[in-house]
């Protein structure tokens, strides 16, 4: 007989979802053309052609706000996985969420800074910027595609949490795999011409961090 799942506290996710909604609405109202270009960048190059200069700037309000929204969504994703798998944690649900958000934000920020440093050392800054713009844009699409599923699972009567957890992970992996394929397809000529630099980038900044995180999790 399956047991009904009950969150100890849904308030934190409700607050997070409201914050995501308000932040997204704000971005949409301030940058309507650029925002819709981002949402349609899977099928159109309008974002990369019309806003190429703005996308090269790192610390713009548009990019920072989307970075925060993205991290809130991914933090909710990891929070739900912890809840589904009944992983024990210290502190309140709010403290747990803040910890997840902080670690994720620091990780992605450190990865970007390390990426730029390595790109400058090996003199492929322009190549990296092109790849980064695509990665940045498609990662936002991954987050927005994940968000409705998170809302559904948060407020629905999920009885088989193991199956729900597996589905969430598989869905996330598929989205990230599609993102990687799109980046590779969009940059195939550049990658072929600069294969050595791309391999250096891939090994040091994409594969190595994942293997390190996996090792830490397994050891724990």
Lowest mean pLDDT among 36-40, 84-88, 124-128, 175-179: 124-128
Q: To the nearest 10°, the Cα dihedral for 186, 191, 192, 195?
A: -160
- Other CB atoms within 10 A of residue 92 CB: 12
Residue with the larger pLDDT of the pair 85 and 62: 62
Contact, 25 vs 108, CB < 8 A? no
How far apart CA 37 and CA 42 sit, in angstroms, is 9
The fraction of the chain above a pLDDT of 90, given in percent, is 30
> pLDDT for 11-53, tens place per residue?
899 999 999 999 999 999 999 999 998 988 888 778 877 777 7
If we measure between CA atoms, which residue out of 15, 21, 8 comes closest to residue 148?
A: 21
Band of pLDDT at residue 209, cut at 50, 70 and 90 = low
The yes-or-no verdict on residue 2 having pLDDT over 50 is no
Note the pLDDT of residue 5.
Answer: 43
How far apart CA 181 and CA 163 sit, in angstroms, is 27
Average confidence (pLDDT) over 175-180: 85
Contact, 60 vs 54, CB < 8 A? yes
SS3 142: helix
Give me 106's structure tokens: 């620091």
Give me 24's structure tokens: 């997204």
- Other CB atoms within 10 A of residue 170 CB: 10
> pLDDT for 96-127, tens place per residue?
999 999 989 988 888 788 777 777 777 767 77
Note the pLDDT of residue 192.
Answer: 58
Contact, 164 vs 153, CB < 8 A? yes
How far apart CA 101 and CA 159 sit, in angstroms, is 27
């Amino acid at each position: 007989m399956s047991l009904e799942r009950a969150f100890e506290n849904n308030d934190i996710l409700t607050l997070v979802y409201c914050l995501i909604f308000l932040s997204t609405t704000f971005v949409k109202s301030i940058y309507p053309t650029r925002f819709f270009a981002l949402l349609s960048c899977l099928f159109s190059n309008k974002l990369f052609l019309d806003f190429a200069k703005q996308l090269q700037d790192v610390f713009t309000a548009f990019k920072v706000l989307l970075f925060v929204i993205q991290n809130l969504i991914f933090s909710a994703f990891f929070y739900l996985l912890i809840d589904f798998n009944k992983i024990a944690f210290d502190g309140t649900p709010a403290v747990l969420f803040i910890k997840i958000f902080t670690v994720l934000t620091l990780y992605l920020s450190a990865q970007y800074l390390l990426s730029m440093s390595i790109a400058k050392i090996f003199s492929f800054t322009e190549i990296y910027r092109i790849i980064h713009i695509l990665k940045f844009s498609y990662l936002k699409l991954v987050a927005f595609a994940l968000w409705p599923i998170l809302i559904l699972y948060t407020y629905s009567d999920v009885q088989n949490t193991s199956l729900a957890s597996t589905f969430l992970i598989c869905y996330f992996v598929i989205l990230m795999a599609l993102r990687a394929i799109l980046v590779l397809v969009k940059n195939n000529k550049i990658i072929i011409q600069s294969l050595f630099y791309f391999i250096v980038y891939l090994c040091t900044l994409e594969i190595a961090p994942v293997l390190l995180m996996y090792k830490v999790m397994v050891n724990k």
